[in-house]
Amino acid sequence: MGIELLDENNIRSLPSDERFLKCEQILKNETDESKRWDAVWLIGELAENKEPSDPMFQKVSDVLEWVLQNDTNGVVKHEACFQVAARNMRDKIPVLVNTALHNHSILAKHEAIESLGLMRAFEAESLIKKALDDPSTDVRETASFVLKRFDRLRNRGVYKPSDIL
């Protein structure tokens, strides 16, 4: 990946299970949101090229859901939304919808809607339409954009995470 992460503790060098536990600990206990952002990325990588039935994929998916429901920072939630889409975690579509419609962060709402679009979550289309009435112009614009993209993408095949990575 081309993104520069600050991995001061060499978390990437840890075995997968240890890396997962370290990232989870950071996400649930660290007060520095920049470290939590890095941990979201580092834990998301553990699900890369894994099937949804893989235990690590499910563990990562569940932690990203925890971030979306519990983290207090919109930038961290934004990254969690992206990771859900990048790994095509379809069982988290309801969590993205909830974030899109009910989160306090405009940034998180925007990215949740955009992630639904990337994942071609056509099943959430009627719910995304509700975001057209959001008080934020940015959220409304994102919802409109995704709905227009859905119209163009319909019947164009299944989404693959490699399409955006």
In a domain, 161, yes or no: no
In a domain, 65, yes or no: yes
The reported pLDDT for the residue numbered 159 is 60
Total domains in the fold of the chain? 1
Look up residue 64 and give its two tokens: 């990203």
Say if CB 76 and CB 36 are below 8 A apart.
Answer: yes
Residue-wise pLDDT for 85-132, tens only, equals: 999 999 999 999 999 999 999 999 999 999 999 999 999 999 999 999
In a domain, 78, yes or no: yes
In a domain, 66, yes or no: yes
The reported pLDDT for the residue numbered 2 is 46
In a domain, 2, yes or no: no
In a domain, 7, yes or no: no
H or E stretch covering 148: helix 137-153
* Mean pLDDT, rounded, of the chain: 91
The reported pLDDT for the residue numbered 8 is 72
The reported pLDDT for the residue numbered 160 is 60
pLDDT lower than 70: segments of the chain: 1-6, 156-165
In a domain, 111, yes or no: yes
For 156, which DSSP code? S
Look up residue 165 and give its two tokens: 């990575």
Q: What angle do CA 146, 46, 124 make, to 5 degrees?
A: 25
Burial class (CB in 10 A: 0-12, 13-18, 19+), 121: buried
**CATH code of residue 118:** 1.25.10.10
Which residue type does 3 have?
I
The reported pLDDT for the residue numbered 152 is 87
Burial class (CB in 10 A: 0-12, 13-18, 19+), 151: exposed
d(CA 112, CA 103): 10
Structural domain of residue 81, as residue ranges? 14-155
d(CA 120, CA 102): 21
In a domain, 114, yes or no: yes
User: Nearest 5°: phi and psi at 90?
Assistant: -60, -25
Which residue type does 70 have?
N
